Structure 1
Amino acid sequence: MQSILQLDFTQNKESPTVPPAPLLQLEKCCMRNNSATLAWRITTVQALPVEGYVLELDDGNGGPYREVYVGKETVCTVDGLHFNSSYNARVKAYNSAGVGAYSKVVVLKTSDVAWFTFDPTSAHRDIVLSNENQTVTCNSYDDRVVLGTAAFSKGVHYWELSVDRYDNHPDPAFGVARINTMKDMMLGKDDKAWAMYVDNNRSWFMHNNSHTNRAEGGITKGSTVGILLDLTKHTLTFFINKQQHGPMAFENLEGVFMPAVSLNRNVQVTLITGLEVPKSIM
């Protein structure tokens, strides 16, 4: 009798099962600039509750997937993706019985061109931002650094800065930098920034406090400075009023770069982004 009762118990007990594949809710998924928001849900109720989810993205080049989120939420925003790239995304659920199957893959396409602003969170405290963080000046007579919110490691990117105010012949600097560049000195003084500094008559390129390639011609109020960061060729080139200024400034650039500016209180510039690379300068 005891063995029969045991057999009946085994047959009637529900065996624990892993969660089914989640359903990515395309109507709630969206792309904004180089950020992706994904949402998903479980379509059937299981005996064992879902304990969490694992969201994975590939590298934008068809490479291996990597985990970008693990947790209980059913919506996630992933920032810092490459511009002009396509990513594959998938999600799976897990519970105490194990890990379930992957969802269907969804393809995410980031913006063709980079839209960004100045970053108040990493700027020197003397930096003054306005115009929804697109315009910058400074409270100090000393040069201070502000970075952009974009981070580039691949592709070709072009942006401009319009000189709104230029008093007493200062020499602002424009270029790119690592996120940990020094913020209390002119851009290019350390080894984490690559810049062109320019006054009303001439300019120089500077990296790691090495000044090179003096070029005649400067800026004034109303001038436009263009920066071309080509991470396919690993080069940085500068333009003033749409004309290339000096030779190619820097080569062999590898890694992650952020747009950067240094200025003092005599200068105000406005950032112009979302630009395609002008055909005339390629």
Structure 2
Amino acid sequence: MALPSARCWNLYRWGAKRWGVPAGVTRRGISFKLEEKTAHSSLALFRGDTGVKYGLVGLEPTRVALNVERFREWAVVLADATVTGGRHYWEVTVKRSQQFRIGVADVDMSRDSCVGADDRSWVFSYAQRKWHSMLANEKAPIEGIGHPEKVGLLLDYEAKKLCLVDVSQISVVHTLQTDFRGPVTPAFALWDGELLTHSGLEVPKGL
């Protein structure tokens, strides 16, 4: 079996050090903020690092600290907490963006890739007024949700499932079957507007 690259090992060690004790099975789900060290230079965090805005020009690369954690090619940012077990629920206000991806990713996924484009991330995408689930750049259409103000994400680590939730009905719209191989973290990408995250929530009854 091939040994992990030095770069991936450094990323994993950074994640373990930065994120501390992994999120376990608790009554409330994972609580997180967005990690500026991972944010692409076109993204800016706001509202106490719980929201992210896209800028066409973005920050000058020379003003952004270079490090192995930062996404270099795509407008992606990760959360500052990991999940290694349990069921977790969070919500994302999406009404101010017309093109985004939300889901989870391995903590050491390539910083040259985009969430949904490889087999190290699992996301729901919204673009051209249509929803899709995405894994390894393969899309499956999702119907019946439109463009609401807010959506929910339910992560069941042991069951290897990530669900898109209609928060107005408290119902699962689509389930993405996954294959987690280690710690994962909430992940976000956007190409216009802004997203706002809401974490530390209990899993709604009935989900």
Question: TM-score scaled by structure 1?
Answer: 0.55
Q: Please give the residue correspondences for 1:27-38 in structure 2 after superposition, counting only pairs within 5 Å.
A: none
Q: Using a 3 Å threshold, how does the CA distance of structure 1 residues 184 and 243 change in structure 2: closer, same or farther?
A: farther
Q: Using a 3 Å threshold, how does the CA distance of structure 1 residues 268 and 200 change in structure 2: closer, same or farther?
A: same
Q: Please give the residue correspondences for 1:128-143 in structure 2 after superposition, counting only pairs within 5 Å.
A: 128-140=44-56
Larger strand proportion, structure 1 or 2?
Answer: 1
Length, aligned pairs only: 174
From 180, 201, 204, the counterpart of 1:275: 201
Q: Please give the residue correspondences for 1:1-282 in structure 2 after superposition, counting only pairs within 5 Å.
A: 80-84=20-24, 112-140=28-56, 144-166=75-97, 170-183=98-111, 186-199=114-127, 201-220=129-148, 223-241=149-167, 242-246=170-174, 248-264=175-191, 266-281=192-207
5+ long unaligned stretches in structure 1: 1-76, 86-109
Question: TM-score scaled by structure 2?
Answer: 0.73
User: How far is 1:210 from its partner?
Assistant: 1.0
Report which of the two structures shows the higher radius of gyration computed on alpha carbons: 1
Contact 1:159 1:274 in 2 (8 A): yes
Amino acid at match of 1:126: S
User: How far is 1:182 from its partner?
Assistant: 4.6
User: How far is 1:78 from its partner?
Assistant: 9.4
Q: Using a 3 Å threshold, how does the CA distance of structure 1 residues 126 and 158 change in structure 2: closer, same or farther?
A: same
Q: Using a 3 Å threshold, how does the CA distance of structure 1 residues 267 and 151 change in structure 2: closer, same or farther?
A: same
Identity of aligned residues (%): 26
Q: Using a 3 Å threshold, how does the CA distance of structure 1 residues 186 and 214 change in structure 2: closer, same or farther?
A: farther
* Matched residue SS, 1:121: helix
Q: Using a 3 Å threshold, how does the CA distance of structure 1 residues 216 and 126 change in structure 2: closer, same or farther?
A: same
Q: Using a 3 Å threshold, how does the CA distance of structure 1 residues 229 and 212 change in structure 2: closer, same or farther?
A: same
* Matched residue SS, 1:158: strand
Contact 2:27 2:202 in 1 (8 A): no
Amino acid at match of 1:176: V
Amino acid at match of 1:188: G
Aligned position for 1:62: none
CA RMSD in angstroms comes to: 2.7
Q: Deviations over 1:58-116 (max 9, x none)?
A: xxxxxxxxxxxxxxxxxxx995223346xxxxxxxxxxxxxxxxxxxxxxxx8853221
5+ long unaligned stretches in structure 2: 1-16, 58-72
